[in-house]
Structure 1
């Protein structure tokens, strides 16, 4: 019997870029807690009327085994992620495959694989699609960036619209890019793996893209790792008034975010 799985396999063979897969899971990220420091996801309280869905971002390897790459808390109301969480161990120069996918499960499709838009009449009800960004003047801004990936599979898994939000082009391509590179240098001095959470503050005053997708007002990042056997954390927030990225303590970052929503980024271990 020719099944959807067979179709996906044939499409994989015909494409240089493999399809990423994701899975919408329970509120505790039960299948991908390893991407959070001490397996504890951030304590996040969504604003009134805002719905969120946890996603374990994963792919199939060459042995048809599902491998989880990172975790995302996605707002189906804003149609952008609240945050993505990942573990940084090393960064390698990986060629980018800029094909973007959607998560059909967010729109009630039983197909578990992330795939291009085009299947099912309800796709896009609860999430952004590529058409939302066309001629918008905004970049698709990665939360888990390609620069922080270590292999081809993790690079592919970042290219999902559940890991991106509309980001000012200049900020994305200059100040935020420089920040991502600086974070690599900082985390390479960790004793072992570093835990990273990168999020977005929505701009509730800006017009939505095609009256659907909320634009990001700020991007933020929190890192924590052992340095000299002591947990060390840093927070980042931007753009500031000069279009740059501001470095903060984790508490300072959480205080700044408290003006928009409540989040405790590393709830079990102080950084």
Structure 2
């Protein structure tokens, strides 16, 4: 019943989103990974991460899982978000949420802000982005969602990192549109993992939140009777997105952290 009250309060704007901080193997949302296998990620020394199953309460007060995120409470940005590709047919609702559970506040649902002391200890807040000159760059973008609930669920700060506005609104947006064209030819589900490399040299937002040095994306789906993948990373020296093989992408990322993104995807 309490979830229904929350929904009614926001019915004229957007739904509240619930995101569960879960065990390390994403037990409740493995369906968003190819072969139900999350990427094999080794955090750099001193970097803490939390797996999150991102979900929303629907009109029937039922919980729906929509994607998965590995979030760094040290960097206060996500390492990656993983989702099953869809082609959006809905508009965008830009209410940005936070995760009270990351700061050990016993609230089951995510909200647009926190009132308890300590909110923001382990995560970015809207106030960190104010007058920063950076966009809140989605990892799971609205363009790749498949319904109203999945669209709403993307607007959480655990699914965003500070991104150069020119790159976000031009080259990266063009790339997201090109991925739609590419994945529409897949047979069955297309799996996507989108991540961030933090810039260790750039000033942090509000002396707290690491900005992005690179955004990257890996896709995998069935084509010509085999699982085929592509990798992408940007910005390059020309402020564009570079297309790579999955192995080439992992090799580039190995300079910053160790990650094996997909199993059985060429």
TM value normalised by structure 2: 0.98
Q: Alignment length, in residue pairs?
A: 266
Segments of 5+ residues of structure 2 without an aligned counterpart are none
Distance in 2 (alpha carbons) for counterparts of 1:138 and 1:211? 14
Q: Deviations over 1:189-211 (max 9, x none)?
A: 00111000000000000000010
2:83 aligned with 1:86, yes or no? yes
Q: Which one of the candidate residues 6, 9, 12 is aligned to 1:8?
A: 6
Return the offset for 1:6.
6.0
Partner of 2:171: 175
* In structure 2, distance between residues paired with 1:99 and 1:92: 18
Q: CA RMSD in A?
A: 1.1
Instruction: Find the aligned partners of 1:129 and 1:48 in 2 and give their Cα distance.
Output: 25
Match of 1:231 in 2: 227
- SS at 2:187's partner residue? coil
Q: Does residue 1:112 correspond to 2:115, yes or no? A: no
Look up the match of 1:200. 196
SS of the residue 2:64 aligns to: strand
Tell me the CA shift for residue 105 of structure 1. Answer: 0.3
Deviation at residue 5 of structure 1 after TM alignment: 4.1
Task: Report how far residue 19 of structure 1 moved.
Answer: 1.3
Instruction: Measure, in 2, the Cα distance between the counterparts of 1:179 and 1:125.
Output: 33
Q: 1:250 aligns with which of 233, 241, 246?
A: 246
Distance 1:4 1:131, change over 3 A: farther
Give matches, 1:98-177, under 5 Å.
98-177=94-173
After the TM superposition, which parts of structure 1 deviate over 2 Å for at least 4 consecutive aligned residues? Answer: 3-7
- With over 3 angstroms needed to count, the CA separation of the structure-2 counterparts of 1:26 and 1:40, relative to structure 1, is same
1 CA distance for matches of 2:33 and 2:135? 27
How far apart are the structure 2 equivalents of 1:270 and 1:200?
Answer: 21
Deviation of 1:227 after TM superposition, in Å, equals: 0.4
After superposition, give the CA deviation of every residue in 1:166-218 in whole Å (9 maximum; x if it has no partner). Answer: 00000000000000000000000001110000000000000000100000000
2:7 & 2:143 partners in 1: Cα distance? 28
Query: What is the deviation of 1:12?
Result: 2.5
Shift of 1:91: 0.5
The answer to whether the Cα contact below 8 Å between 2:3 and 2:57 also exists between their aligned partners in 1 is no
Matched residue, 1:269: 264
